[in-house]
Structure 1
């Protein structure tokens, strides 16, 4: 039960980042590596402001805005300068490494003894684990609600249309470049928001905490898609949260089995590879089943 509660609370915090990855990966059909830089950017901004005496809630909002600015840079590089999406993410991610060091002034910033959102929740009588769970659930619910409302507006529908068919969208008068930039902004804003939450939960921000972020986000998205199929936009966002929780549960169970923590990135990559190959394996197994004499005899379709 302790492992399950820990996985849920951690999964909720990481799910915000996974939703951000989903916006570019699925909605815009863009592989954006900016996440590797915007995640620690959110942590760096939030931690530095908290240490400077800024309230944690205001520091968290500042981290969200910083991530949106990083997304704007990636969007402009991709749409205005016509740099391929993959290279755009690499460029921004590389630049953010130096920017994050500038913001923190050193490789890491500790939040021990500082006020955080989790410690604020504890002041209402919650224990540490329940406080993390409450913050994660509240933020995840708010993000899903805001995105659901936004993507049902004219601009939101235009972003979805741009990702589905850019040429047709342009033919119908949609400014696809502007829609891509907005998508980049929303995606990296959420990723930075998640970084701020993780930093407050871990009580530190570190320059290397963004390594492997994109793998974690993609794994959460794919796991949610493997478990649940053909859902509406709002329900899909909920399944991403579930996917993030399942991913954290798998990682926690692996650690409980005695696996060296330094091998976690390897297991993360394996989990993503398995999740990505699951649809293909299901398809092939279905074809084999249809071709088998036993299936034909029993009338299996």
Structure 2
């Protein structure tokens, strides 16, 4: 049971990442590979500040600012230098590797026996249950903030930029600025996932972000599949399904390990699962 509880907790940790991917890929239609670097950046900033005994709230703010700067840089390269968004993300992600290793000074930083977000408040005597309640509250607050943001005039302009850039530009909206802010927000959320995961697993590693974009993408694809099946138009329900997708994704991986699949094949299973989710709607509703 604890094995699946751990998967649930990891899913909650990756919820912010899934929301970030949702904003960049589903709202702005931008395949943002900066994710791999900004996720690690969030974990690195977290580890460095915790090592220096900085307050948890200050660490979180610093993580979000660092992630936002990384996303904004990608947005500036894409919009102002007219570089393909995918290439812009790859360039920033590559640069972030050097930034991250420089900040850490080593390839791995342990956080064992150091105060973290999950030891800040004692809601339950059981550590896993305590972590669950703190994570749940944390994710709920983030989701409410993002939900309200997307319902504002600014949020509507963001969504319109992704749906019809030429139309919203004709109404006087600066679409370049919208993209930069959108990518900054998406990567700030991604960095928050790094912040949560590093504290949850008790260490930060320089390679922890490799391929993490597939986790966020898989979560969003699961959500999109459910949204299309049930014809959901509500922003709030869409965000809830994105969070649900993040949890489902981790549960599926937990089941894979539980039935005895070699952990070395986990990346293959992850890729196959995402491929299945992408293909399922087309296979299910294909006519004749």
With the shorter chain as reference, the TM-score category is over 0.9
Match of 2:136 in 1: 137
Three-state SS of the structure 2 residue aligned to 1:258 is coil
Three-state SS of the structure 1 residue aligned to 2:285 is helix
Match of 2:63 in 1: 63
* Structure 2 stretches lacking a partner, 5+ long: none
- Residue 222, structure 1, aligned to residue 242, structure 2: no
Three-state SS of the structure 1 residue aligned to 2:76 is helix
Give the whole-Å Cα distance in 2 for the aligned partners of 1:97 and 1:135: 30
Q: How does 1:1-301 map to 2 (within 5 A)?
A: 1-121=1-121, 123-229=122-228, 230-231=231-232, 232-284=234-286, 287-288=287-288
Three-state SS of the structure 1 residue aligned to 2:208 is coil
* Structure 1 stretches lacking a partner, 5+ long: 289-301
Give the whole-Å Cα distance in 2 for the aligned partners of 1:125 and 1:66: 32
Contact 1:159 1:179 in 2 (8 A): yes
Contact 2:123 2:130 in 1 (8 A): no
Give the whole-Å Cα distance in 1 for the aligned partners of 2:20 and 2:125: 29
Give the whole-Å Cα distance in 1 for the aligned partners of 2:199 and 2:60: 9
Give the whole-Å Cα distance in 1 for the aligned partners of 2:55 and 2:264: 34
**Post-superposition, which runs of at least 4 consecutive aligned residues in structure 1 deviate over 4 A?**
none
Q: 1:268 to 1:98 in 2, by over 3 A?
A: same
Aligned residues: 285
**How far is the alpha carbon of 1:31 from its aligned partner?**
0.3
Give the whole-Å Cα distance in 1 for the aligned partners of 2:154 and 2:225: 29
Three-state SS of the structure 1 residue aligned to 2:151 is coil
Contact 2:123 2:133 in 1 (8 A): no
Give the whole-Å Cα distance in 1 for the aligned partners of 2:112 and 2:206: 17
**How far is the alpha carbon of 1:173 from its aligned partner?**
0.7
Give the whole-Å Cα distance in 2 for the aligned partners of 1:131 and 1:60: 19
State the Cα deviation string for residues 122-177 of structure 1 (Å, max 9, x = none).
x4443221122122211211111101111122211111000000111111111000
Three-state SS of the structure 1 residue aligned to 2:31 is coil
**How far is the alpha carbon of 1:191 from its aligned partner?**
0.2
Give the whole-Å Cα distance in 2 for the aligned partners of 1:258 and 1:15: 26
Which structure is larger by alpha-carbon Rg, 1 or 2?
A: 1
The CA RMSD over aligned residues, in Å, is: 1.2
Give the whole-Å Cα distance in 2 for the aligned partners of 1:62 and 1:99: 15
Three-state SS of the structure 2 residue aligned to 1:151 is helix
Contact 1:61 1:193 in 2 (8 A): no
